[in-house]
Structures are given as structure tokens and as C-alpha cells.
Copies of this chain bind each other. A is one copy, B any other.
Amino acid sequence: MSNSPLEMKITIPCSTEFVSIIRLAISGIAARMNFTVEDIEDIKISVSEACTNAIQHAYGNNPSSDNEIFITARMHPEELEIEVEDKGTGFDLGILGTAPQKEASEKKMGLGLGITFIKNLMDHAEFSSKIDSGTVIRMFKKSPKPFQ
């Protein structure tokens, strides 16, 4: 057996109906890793919010099979890592938490909650984004008992 973590990759089009399917698949992975029901909820919401952001912001809510979202789940021995990547508009990470961003979110009926949830509900999250190139969010949650 190779030493790299078991990895599941999912690619979905930028289309709202796929987000619940990602939640199903991610719950399945998390359950297999013996996460508690509460942890599974936290992971589900975080991944779901990242996908929702990609649909709403990266691709301007323009459902198309060309605009793809890439989700990768890596089952490390002691934690689950999930990466959500888009090749959309990207954004200036510096705006997060600032007043202009809050205002912009509210205009779109948002609350600036997506990233707040990810930061609060996961153990750790890393954001990277490049204008016109896309965004990658990597999030981590420690598993209750070592896996495998």
C-alpha cells in the first residue's frame, strides 16, 4: 500500500443542485472516519459553504458545465482534509472581515457568514485566491480516533 492518504476527488458543474450531493458524499467519508454526528454536521456545512461561495461568487451564479468546482477529500491518519477549488474570478482575501465586504455581502442578501462558518466549524482553514484565476480553500478536522 502506498503511503499517500486515500483521496476522493469530485468535480461538479457550477450548479446549485449538486451542493446537496457533495454534502452526502462528504458525510459518507466523515462517517467512515468515525467522526461524531456533531463533527459531521460541522464538516458538511463548511464544505457546503465553500461550494456555495464558488457558485455565487466565483462563477456569478451562472450554471454551466464549463464552470467546474473541484472537491478533494484526503483521509489522513489523524485528520480529514478537504479542498474546494474553483477557477473563477478570485478575490482579494484582504477584504474579509472589512466593512466594505460586509456591505457588499448584504447587497447580495448574504451575511458574510460562509467564511465565518468555515473558520469556526473546522479546526483549521487555509485560503488562497488569485484574481481571474480562482480560489482554493483547504480545511481540516481532526478525527476522534486515528483512522486505519
Query: Which residues of A line the B interface, CB within 8 A?
Result: 1-2, 4-13, 15, 17-18, 20-21, 24-25, 27-29, 32, 62-66
Q: Which residues on the B side are within 8 Å of A24 (C-beta)?
A: 24-25, 27-28
Please, how many angstroms separate the alpha-carbon atoms of A82 and B15 in the complex?
A: 19
Query: Closest residue to A12 on the B side, CB-wise?
Result: B8
Please, how many angstroms separate the alpha-carbon atoms of A17 and B7 in the complex?
A: 12
Copies of this chain present in the complex amount to: 2
Q: Which residues on the B side are within 8 Å of A63 (C-beta)?
A: 1
The residue from B5, B6, B15, B25 contacting A10, defined by CB atoms under 8 A apart = B25
Taking a contact as CB atoms under 8 Å apart, the answer to whether B32 and A28 are in contact is no
- Supply 23 A–B pairs (Cβ within 8 Å), ascending by A: A1-B63, A2-B65, A2-B66, A4-B65, A5-B65, A6-B13, A6-B18, A7-B13, A7-B65, A8-B12, A8-B13, A8-B21, A9-B10, A9-B11, A10-B11, A17-B32, A20-B28, A21-B28, A21-B29, A21-B32, A24-B24, A24-B25, A25-B28
Q: Which residues on the B side are within 8 Å of A5 (C-beta)?
A: 65
